[in-house]
C-alpha cells in the first residue's frame, strides 16, 4: 500500500454508486425488499473496493417516493436488504435517497452533485480519488458537476469506450488492477 506524508495523506478515497441497474437488476419503482436482486459479482466487487481503502456511498434517485408510489421507509428497507444480499457488513458508509420527482426543483436528485459535494467536504475526500459510478447520463453528469471521476456501467451495449464498463465487477477489476500496475 502506498502511504504519503503531509496533509494530502489525510484525504480519503471513495466510490459513489448508483443503485438501480448498477448494483441490482431494476424491476422499476422497487419498494419490496423481497425483490432486491443484486447483479452478479457486485457484492464481491464492493468488498474488494472497501479492502482497498475506498469508502462506499450509495446515491440513488427514487422518484417513486415523490410520486407517492411508496414511502422513504420502503426505500430504506430495500437498501438494508441490498446491503445484506451484497454481504456488506458494515453497510455503506453513507446513503442518499433522492425522493424528488423529475419535474420538481432538484435538491439531491441526480444530476445534482449536491450529495457528492457535501460528502466530500464532510468526510475529507480527495476529488482525484473519488468516483461516481452509474448507468445513466444523470449519474455521469452528477459526477462531472462535482468534479470527480466517472465510470459508466453499460451491461447491454458495452462498447469498450474509455470510462465505460460492462459491470461494477469489471470496473473494480480495472480500478484495482490499474492501481497495482501504477505502483510498480
Ligand atoms: Mg441506474
Q: Which domains does the chain have, with CATH numbers?
A: 11-157+166-182 (3.40.50.1000)
- Segment 119-139 mean pLDDT: 97
Ligand 1: distance of its center to the CA of 121 in Å?
25
pLDDT tens-digit profile of 86-127? 999 999 999 999 999 999 999 999 999 999 999 999 999 999
pLDDT tens-digit profile of 48-78? 999 999 999 999 999 999 999 999 999 999 9
Would you place residue 6 in the very low, low, confident or very high pLDDT band (cuts 50, 70, 90)?
A: low
Say what the pTM is. Answer: 0.92
What pLDDT is stored for residue 180 in this prediction? 67
Catalytic residues: 18, 20
Ligand 1: distance of its center to the CA of 24 in Å?
9
Kindly report each contact of residues 97-103 with a partner whose C-beta sits within 8 Å and lies 24 or more positions away, as own/partner.
97/60, 97/62, 97/65, 97/72, 98/59, 98/60, 98/61, 98/62, 99/62, 99/63, 99/65, 99/66, 99/72, 99/75, 100/61, 100/63, 100/66, 101/63, 101/66, 101/67, 102/63
Ligand 1: distance of its center to the CA of 133 in Å?
9
Amino acid at each position: 500500500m502506498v502511504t504519503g506524508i503531509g496533509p494530502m495523506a489525510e484525504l480519503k478515497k471513495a466510490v459513489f454508486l448508483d443503485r438501480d441497474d448498477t448494483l441490482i437488476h431494476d424491476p422499476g419503482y422497487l419498494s419490496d425488499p423481497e425483490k432486491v436482486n443484486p447483479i452478479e459479482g457486485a457484492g464481491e466487487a464492493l468488498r474488494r473496493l472497501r479492502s482497498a481503502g475506498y469508502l462506499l456511498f450509495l446515491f440513488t434517485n427514487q422518484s417513486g417516493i415523490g410520486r407517492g408510489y411508496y414511502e422513504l421507509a420502503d426505500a430504506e428497507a430495500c437498501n438494508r436488504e441490498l446491503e445484506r444480499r451484497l454481504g456488506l457488513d458494515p453497510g455503506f458508509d453513507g446513503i442518499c435517497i433522492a425522493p424528488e420527482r423529475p419535474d420538481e426543483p432538484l435538491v439531491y436528485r441526480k444530476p445534482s452533485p449536491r450529495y457528492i459535494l457535501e460528502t466530500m467536504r464532510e468526510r475529507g475526500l480527495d476529488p482525484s480519488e473519488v468516483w461516481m459510478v452509474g448507468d445513466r447520463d444523470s449519474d455521469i453528469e452528477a459526477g462531472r458537476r462535482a468534479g470527480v471521476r466517472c465510470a459508466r456501467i453499460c451491461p447491454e451495449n458495452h462498447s469498450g469506450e474509455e470510462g465505460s464498463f460492462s459491470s461494477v465487477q469489471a470496473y473494480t477489476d480495472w480500478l484495482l488492477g490499474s492501481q497495482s500496475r501504477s505502483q510498480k
